[in-house]
Amino acid sequence: MTPFHYQDGELHAEQVPLARIAKAVGTPVYVYSAGALVGAYRRFAAALAAAGVEATICYALKANSNQAVIATFAAEGAGADVVSEGELRRALAAGVPAQKIVFAGVGKTPEEMAFALETGIHQFNVESLPELEALSAVAQRLGLVAPVALRINPDVDAKTHEKISTGKAENKFGINYDQAPAVAARCRELPGVKLVGLAVHIGSQLTDLAPYRAAFERLAALYRALAAEGHPLERLDMGGGLGIAYRDEQPPPVEAYARVVAEATRGLGARIICEPGRHLVGNAGLLLTRAVYVKRGSSRAFVIVDGAMNDLIRPTLYEAWHDIVPVAAPAGDAPVERYDIVGPICESGDFFAKQRPLPPLAAGDLIALCSAGAYGSVMASTYNTRPLVPEVLVKDRDFFVIRPRQEYATLIALDRLPPWLAEEEQVSPKRAAGGG
């Protein structure tokens, strides 16, 4: 289904006009479609099943960790891929069973390990020998044994943006392929860990299956070799990374991806884990923002909107393209103008698009930044003391605010004054009143 479409001249999310959400909640606001979330999950699960892959889908929370989103997937049977104690707590709060949670990430602290061990999670994806030793020590102290998958760096080029490419030897991620047998051997000596599998994740927004094929084949070969050495392997975690269409990319259909997983893992007898993030949420969300001013400079026209780089950082951080569409359907014969769509923050990097061809825009117009369901609100900050923007989930004709707009008072009250300044503050009202 297409969750966002024009109906009666207005852009809708499912059956709800976006203008109605803007009126009720204000802008900027993230809007997600429940139908699109569920649809993407079911298609992913069905593709794996059709390819004969027995898999647990551990949704990568980092893409969008609103509890309503996590709970939507949990209700479909999803597990979770988490990379911090905070994400682990969120997954649990949203109802994901601990036994379906995988803890990834290069820098887990002993405190985070202890919390995850006591929770009884499914698996730790371990990325280095020092991390393995630390995990064993923490587990031993607690009288527990940590189920471990070694994350392997297969030295494969994912051919994606350099900031989201993770599978080359020069990246910080994973255990070098050649060092893996030695680290696996160390698992036998360490009393607090049990080696149960291998994991890989070569990058995000992959639009080509060839790097996957190469990485999965290397992983499967290593799995066979380690199993032959007597390691009790039973799981393979294939990571995430399947791309979506932001513009004119043609990411492989999920069915083709599932066949690559199936072919690479055939005959291993391993239980498969997949960690999709963006693929499940990216195109299920948009950022709704309003034009505040249209400013015509000598060489360019700028549309200054109320959203900014702190709300959606992808354009400036990754040169990412997000489609931009007006909420009021343009007339069929509307002329095309080129605009820079920019936010109000005092940095030239605060832009959403440059020289973008669009129908004529005016102050007050609502516009939507598409494909913003993944790595949008989760990467937001309060730079310039701009409160975190709200999130809304639409289902059929209803919508619900799944995170209210942060209030100025809440945001500002996070700071504490040290005593020497707090005392000053106490006297200041008197001063203001002309006393003391």
Applying CB under 6 A, the span of 209-217, 277-285, 358-366, 421-429 interacting with ligand LLP comes to 277-285
Whole-angstrom Cα distance, residue 75 to residue 72?
5
Residue among 187, 274, 346, 370 flagged as catalytic: 346
What count of other Cβ atoms lies within 10 Å of the Cβ of residue 70? 23
**Binding-residue total with ligand LLP (CB under 6 A):** 22
- In angstroms, the CA 403 to CA 232 distance is 44
211 binds ligand LLP (CB under 6 A): no
Active site residue 346: yes
User: Residue from 12, 259, 278, 395 that binds ligand LLP (CB under 6 A)?
Assistant: 278
Cα(350)–Cα(270) distance, rounded to whole angstroms? 46
C-beta of 177 vs 339, nearer to ligand LLP: 177
Considering only 12, 259, 314, 395, the residue that binds ligand LLP (CB under 6 A) is 314
Q: Among residues 315 and 326, whose Cβ is nearest to ligand LLP?
A: 315
Q: In the complex with ligand LLP, which residue's Cβ is closer, 164 or 401?
A: 164
Stretch that binds ligand LLP, among 58-66, 134-142, 322-330, 410-418 (CB under 6 A): 58-66
Figure out which of the listed residues 11, 60, 286, 372 binds ligand LLP, where binding follows CB under 6 A.
Answer: 60
Q: Write the Ramachandran bin of 159: left for phi over 0, alpha for psi from -120 to 50, otherwise beta.
A: left
Strand partners, 16: 13
Give, in order, the Cα–Cα distances in Å from 263 to each of 103, 220, 256, 267, 350.
Answer: 26, 10, 11, 9, 44
- DSSP notation for 5-24: EEETTEEEETTEEHHHHHHH
27 half-sphere exposure, CB direction, 13 A CA radius? 25
How many other CB atoms are found less than 10 A from the CB of residue 312? Answer: 27
- Stretch near ligand LLP under the rule CB under 6 A, chosen from 13-21, 55-63, 348-356, 415-423: 55-63
Question: Using the 8-state DSSP alphabet, how is residue 328 labeled?
Answer: B
Instruction: Pick from 155, 275, 350, 365 the residue near ligand LLP by CB under 6 A.
Output: 275
* Interface pattern 165-204 for ligand LLP (x via CB under 6 A): ------------------------------------x--x
Nearer to ligand LLP by C-beta: 16 or 82? 82
Min dist CB 374 to ligand LLP, Å, is 6
Q: Which stretch binds ligand LLP (CB under 6 A): 14-22, 113-121, 270-278, 398-406?
A: 270-278
Non-local CB neighbours of 203 within 8 Å, separated by 6+ positions: 158, 160, 164, 165, 166, 167, 211, 241
Which one, 25 or 56, has the nearer CB to ligand LLP? 56
235 binds ligand LLP (CB under 6 A): no
Q: Please state, in angstroms and rounded to a whole number, the distance separating the CA atoms of residues 374 and 387.
A: 20
Closer to ligand LLP by Cβ: residue 29 or 83: 83
Spatial separation of the C-alpha atoms in residues 188 and 196, rounded to whole Å:
11
Q: 290 — phi, psi (to 5°)? A: -120, 140
Q: How far is the CB of 349 from ligand LLP (least distance, A)?
A: 15
Give the per-residue contact string, 74-113, with ligand LLP (x = CB under 6 A; - = no): -------x----------------------x---------
Selected from 147, 240, 326, 343, the binder of ligand LLP by CB under 6 A is: 240
Residue 130, C-beta contacts closer than 8 angstroms, at least 6 positions apart? none
Residue 430: in which H helix or E strand, if any? Answer: helix 419-432
Q: Would you state the structure tokens that stand for residue 231, as one six-digit string?
A: 């390691």
- Contact positions with ligand LLP (CB under 6 A) in 365-404: 374-375
Our CB check for ligand LLP shows the closer of 100 and 201 to be 201
Query: 155: Cβ–Cβ under 8 A, 6 or more apart, which residues?
Result: 167, 168, 169, 176, 177
C-alpha distances out from residue 70 to 58, 64, 75, 291, 331, Å? 10, 8, 9, 32, 39
Between 333 and 372, how does the x/- string for binding to ligand LLP read (CB under 6 A)? ----------------------------------------
147/276 with CB nearer ligand LLP: 276
d(C-alpha 350, C-alpha 341), whole Å: 9
Q: Which of 63, 305, 358, 380 binds ligand LLP (CB under 6 A)?
A: 63
**Using rule CB under 6 A, residue 318 touches ligand LLP:** yes
Q: Annotated catalytic sites, by residue?
A: 346
Contact positions vs ligand LLP (CB under 6 A): 60, 62-63, 81, 104, 164, 201, 204-205, 239-242, 275-279, 314, 318, 374-375
